[in-house]
Structure 1
């Protein structure tokens, strides 16, 4: 089941973002020594990570049962739950999607690749040259680029005065 699921709620702009994330993951997957299973996991996680990004708050809170987390953090867990209910069993894919907005110290390379691709995809308008440089380095310096992406995302969160999720702090402590 590659591509967007029929229950996806995405705008044209979101679909374009998803397609850029998938293209980046596919490029890395071809440039790195990945087996077919891992490459497929990366692509599927890319397609599905924002499948519910444009769903409304009532829908996402209903799907997740979460009344505490900010609305913007709910689309990943909601999509993971929908995928699991539809029969998806790959834990690395479900965890990548579930935590792609805040990170997880328990991730395999699938979660780490999605986290980087979501941040480094070329359609985002900030730090374009720096992000392109990092994206180009992923195949030969996967772990080092991942650490740098985590750091950049943490710096932005702190600079914007936003609170850090406990999972984000645990991720930083795991990679620093």
Structure 2
């Protein structure tokens, strides 16, 4: 959690966000995984539709957002970012895209380290492009393994791909 918060604080600074916004970015990074190690059975009771059917490993985001909401946090973009940080969302604002990317690019992750480092470096200036590249990698990974795709991921992909031409059958 701390690494994501520090990464987001750095990105906010590099993007020229205000001091208050930088604190908000750091806070979302520190809080997004607050319930990650909790029992999924316990978390399921906190999560409301449409996210209550998520696998246990990803319930922590919406559960943390619900807990924060109950504790008086009313920043809708902040709560949405936490709820959907593992899935992606077509409704992300800048904060949501940043958390989605930072969670995936968290320093210390051991897979594809050079690629991740490059994306981390580009993210402050190319946040949407980096988020799209991460999402493409996630979708590709799931497709290669014949695993299902969540509608939230597909909707985010379509939002990030707006304006791109639709493929014709002859392109395959």
TM-score band, normalised by shorter chain: 0.7 to 0.9
TM-score by length of 1: 0.85
Where does the alignment leave 5 or more consecutive residues of structure 1 unmatched? 1-17
2:158 matched residue in structure 1 = 173
- Report if the CA contact (8 A) 2:9-2:26 is conserved: yes
- Which of the residues 127, 142, 167 maps onto 1:142? 127
Cα distance per residue 1:101-129 (max 9 Å; x no partner): 10110110100000000011121111100
- Report if the CA contact (8 A) 1:45-1:93 is conserved: yes
TM-score by length of 2: 0.87
Where does the alignment leave 5 or more consecutive residues of structure 2 unmatched? 162-172
Q: CA deviation at 1:133?
A: 0.5
Deviation above 4 Å: which 4+ runs of structure 1?
none
2:33 matched residue in structure 1 = 50
- Which runs of structure 2 are paired with 1:104-119 in the superposition (5 Å)? 104-119=89-104
- Report if the CA contact (8 A) 2:90-2:155 is conserved: yes
1:99 matched residue in structure 2 = 84
Q: CA deviation at 1:161?
A: 3.0
- Report if the CA contact (8 A) 2:85-2:96 is conserved: yes
Q: CA deviation at 1:38?
A: 2.5
Range that drifts further, 145-154 or 81-90:
145-154
- Report if the CA contact (8 A) 1:44-1:93 is conserved: no
Structure 2: distance between partners of 1:20 and 1:110: 16
Q: CA deviation at 1:154?
A: 1.5
Structure 2: distance between partners of 1:65 and 1:117: 25
2:24 matched residue in structure 1 = 41
Aligned residue pairs, count: 159
1:30 matched residue in structure 2 = 13
Structure 1: distance between partners of 2:77 and 2:48: 22
Structure 2: distance between partners of 1:65 and 1:140: 35
- Report if the CA contact (8 A) 1:76-1:98 is conserved: yes
